[in-house]
């Protein structure tokens, strides 16, 4: 794990690292905010942030304004990239933004040529936390949250691994990739035309199949231009009602899909996670 940069921020450190990933078969970069408590020798819990389509590890770090609250709460925030990177990593032949580089969808691809690199599920669940917990002053207590494609990743990863995460939240998540164009394209190309393989990567399907209860918070902007076509929050609400699964789903009038929305409510999400991380 090579330190690429480090800057002081609210008494803590905003760092960027590089490492060779076995899961993704390439060199990866990720960012971490280490709150001031770590400089006093404390091990702190971790919230893993998963970003959306086209993002890298830097979008959240520079736009969300999370560091002030994370410093107060004593929580580290880990910000991975959204896909494998490098000259040898395959990309969408049309360079589309919703597949390939910047669009790993947090699954382990089984289809050629994607299967040689696109193992984002294993990277987020296994490889990266092991690296973080070995090399940085953090505890094994962790939660996960994200935005859009990353909201989908956070929800499905937490629901598939309830023993690993104490809480989950999301901004504007893709709640049912099996039922929207972004998800149908990605799941088909990464996992093949087998809907059974898709279900463990679909929040609505997981809740309907009896997922274990976790603390869950979701914020969705009502001015989001992807709400009707891609995000379809009403499908999640129907599954929650049908199964009795408890989650707080909040609609925010006037807010869109951007980081302005995330920055407006990031403090709520960090304080939500802190209730369970601490």
Dihedrals phi, psi of 98, to nearest 5 degrees: -100, 15
Closest CA to 224 of 253, 256, 263: 256
Among the listed residues 117, 201, 224, 264, the single catalytic one is 224
Q: Active site includes 257?
A: yes
Q: Which residues of 103-123 are buried (b: 16+ CB within 10 A; e: fewer)?
A: bbbbbbbeeeebeebbbbbeb
Among the listed residues 31, 148, 176, 264, the single catalytic one is 148
Q: Active site includes 148?
A: yes
Structural tokens at position 148: 């859009």
Among the listed residues 257, 264, 269, 273, the single catalytic one is 257
CA gyration radius, the chain:
17
Q: Convert 51-81 into a string of H (helix), E (strand) and C (coil).
A: CCCCCCCHHHHHHCCCHHHHHHHCCEEEEEC
Q: Active site includes 229?
A: no
Which residue numbers are catalytic? 148, 224, 257
């Amino acid at each position: 794990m090579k330190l690429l940069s480090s800057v002081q921020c609210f008494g803590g450190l905003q760092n960027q690292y590089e490492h060779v990933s076995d899961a993704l078969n390439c060199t990866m970069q990720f960012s971490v905010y280490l709150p001031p408590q770590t400089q006093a020798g404390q091990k702190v819990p971790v919230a893993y942030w998963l970003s959306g389509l086209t993002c890298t590890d830097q979008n959240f770090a520079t736009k969300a304004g999370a560091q002030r609250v994370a410093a107060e709460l004593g929580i580290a925030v880990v910000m991975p990239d959204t896909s494998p990177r490098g000259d040898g990593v395959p990309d969408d032949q049309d360079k589309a933004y919703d597949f390939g580089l910047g669009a790993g969808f947090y699954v382990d691809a089984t289809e050629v040529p994607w299967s040689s690199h696109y193992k984002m599920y294993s990277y987020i669940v296994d490889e990266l936390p092991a690296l973080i917990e070995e090399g940085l002053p953090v505890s094994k207590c962790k939660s996960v949250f994200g935005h859009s494609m990353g909201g989908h990743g956070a929800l499905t990863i937490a629901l598939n691994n309830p023993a690993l995460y104490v809480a989950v939240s999301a901004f504007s998540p893709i709640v049912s990739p099996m039922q929207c164009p972004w998800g149908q394209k990605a799941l088909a190309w990464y996992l093949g035309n087998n809907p059974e393989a898709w279900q463990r990567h679909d929040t609505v399907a997981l809740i309907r199949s009896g997922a274990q209860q976790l603390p869950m918070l979701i914020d969705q902007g009502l001015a989001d231009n992807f709400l009707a076509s891609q995000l379809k929050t009403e499908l999640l609400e129907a599954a929650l009602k049908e199964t009795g699964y408890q989650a707080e789903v909040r609609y925010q009038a006037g807010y869109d899909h951007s980081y302005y929305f995330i920055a407006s409510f990031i403090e709520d999400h960090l304080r939500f996670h802190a209730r369970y991380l601490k």
